[in-house]
């Protein structure tokens, strides 16, 4: 069971040191420019605006994949909120009344305009309580320093998303289903489907795509494990379609396609399980040997050279994936079903006490467990 302290100290998304350094560097540069622009236009009021931009920098450069860190959220969140703040102060002339109305109005406007950005609330508040340097600028406050600061932050954000975030692997990356075999994986949808589903909801969900993937996989694994009941792995197996280590790749490829599998077990002559030949490994080899032409590569792999020694792989065992999770026939089924889905395995080999393959268990997309 999870410790109750985790609710107070949740685990943060891991960031490589180089990515953390660059996020901090972009934050430093953006706030330095914001401070300079603010000082040139507002003088003593500049620190208040820098505080708003500082909150934006954390969102933009630490969690650039968040719905609150998009370019439209940055631009719309600030400009809409500041417009509301300036308007309410000019109408009411009382900061005690105008300040809460400005923040509440900014939240509602940002939500309906799909540009929800927390620093926008601070910008709306600053427009009311910023003092004479802000009030004297009137709607000119929208152009400078707010507009200029937003333009600087936007330019740095676009550079960061293009050249930094995209090269370090983060929540902007597409979901990569299938951890072991790189095939269809446990997810029946891709990043575009997920983005469209979130858009269709008409609301913001403050989780990363990785969090949503984890939630989906965990629920899927638990559902299938619950349906498995009290059965053992040996009671749930289907006959194994297997190849021997020295079998031709042509036979292995034919079995993969005939049975619509993402992997086929590899065994020795006595039936001991050795590993898997995955569709992903075969296609990678085909692309390599076909110089990018996968169809040509498949034909090459499925045709023996007739030589004693060949540079290209010709036997199933030459493309083997070892260290595959393997269940025993007497193991309880539910935990292994959960592993099958959570790890994105193409199949679960089941062996007896002597490591001889007795069958396989496939994810539900291939049939019943």
Residue by residue, DSSP assigns 240-297 as: ---EETTSBHHHHHHHHHHTT-SEEEEE-TT-BEEEEEEHHHHHHHHHHHTTT-HHHH
From CA 181, how far away is CA 346, in angstroms rounded?
A: 7
Residue 60: C-alpha distances to residues 52, 155, 202 (Å): 13, 11, 22
Q: pTM for the whole thing?
A: 0.51
Q: How confident is the model at residue 311 (pLDDT cuts 50, 70, 90)?
A: confident
- Which pair of tokens denotes residue 30? 């953006």
Q: What's the CA dihedral at 315, 319, 320, 324 to 10 degrees? A: -150
Summarised one tens digit per residue, pLDDT across range 257-283 is 998 889 999 999 999 999 999 999 999
- Which pair of tokens denotes residue 352? 């007896």
Q: What is the pLDDT of residue 178?
A: 39
Summarised one tens digit per residue, pLDDT across range 135-189 is 888 998 898 888 988 999 999 999 988 877 654 443 333 333 334 434 444 455 5
Task: Please tell me the CATH code under which domain 175-369 is placed.
Answer: 3.10.580.10
Give Cβ neighbours of residue 223 (< 8 Å, ≥ 6 apart): none
Domain ranges, ordered by start, for the chain = 13-167, 175-369
Asked which of 22-26, 205-209, 345-349 is least confident by mean pLDDT, the reply is: 205-209
Answer positive or negative: Cα dihedral of 202, 207, 213, 219.
negative
| Total number of residues shown for the chain | 369
């Amino acid at each position: 069971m999870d410790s109750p302290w985790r609710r107070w100290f949740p685990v943060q998304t891991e960031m490589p040191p180089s990515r953390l350094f660059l996020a901090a560097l972009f934050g430093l540069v953006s706030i330095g420019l914001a401070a300079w622009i603010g000082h040139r236009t507002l003088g003593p009021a500049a620190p208040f605006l820098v505080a708003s931009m500082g909150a934006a920098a954390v969102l933009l450069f630490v969690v650039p994949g968040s719905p609150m860190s998009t370019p439209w959220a940055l631009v719309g969140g600030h400009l809409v909120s500041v417009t509301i703040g300036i308007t309410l102060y000019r109408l009411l002339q009382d900061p005690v009344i105008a300040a809460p109305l400005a923040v509440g109005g900014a939240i509602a406007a940002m939500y309906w305009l799909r540009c929800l950005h927390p620093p926008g609330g601070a910008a709306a508040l600053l427009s009311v309580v910023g003092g004479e340097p802000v009030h004297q600028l009137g709607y000119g406050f929208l152009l400078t320093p707010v507009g200029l600061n937003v333009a600087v932050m936007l330019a740095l954000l676009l550079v960061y998303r293009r050249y930094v975030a995209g090269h370090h692997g983060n929540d902007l990356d597409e979901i990569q289903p299938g951890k072991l075999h790189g095939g269809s994986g446990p997810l029946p949808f891709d990043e575009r489907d997920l983005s469209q589903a979130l858009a269709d909801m008409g609301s913001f969900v403050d989780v990363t795509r990785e969090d949503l993937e984890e939630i989906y996989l965990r629920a899927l694994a638990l559902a299938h494990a619950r349906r498995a009941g009290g059965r053992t792995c040996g009671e749930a197996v289907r006959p194994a379609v297997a190849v021997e280590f020295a079998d031709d790749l042509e036979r292995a490829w034919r079995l993969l396609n005939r049975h619509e599998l993402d992997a086929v077990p590899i065994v020795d002559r006595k039936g001991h399980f050795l590993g898997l030949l995955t569709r992903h490994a075969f296609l990678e080899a085909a692309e390599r040997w076909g110089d990018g032409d996968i169809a040509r590569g498949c034909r090459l792999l499925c045709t023996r050279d007739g030589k004693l020694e060949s540079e290209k792989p010709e036997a199933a065992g030459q493309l083997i994936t070892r260290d595959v999770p393997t269940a025993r026939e007497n193991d309880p089924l539910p935990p292994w079903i959960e592993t099958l889905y959570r790890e994105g395995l193409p199949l679960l080999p089941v062996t007896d006490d002597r490591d001889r393959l007795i069958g396989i268990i496939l994810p539900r997309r291939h049939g019943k467990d």
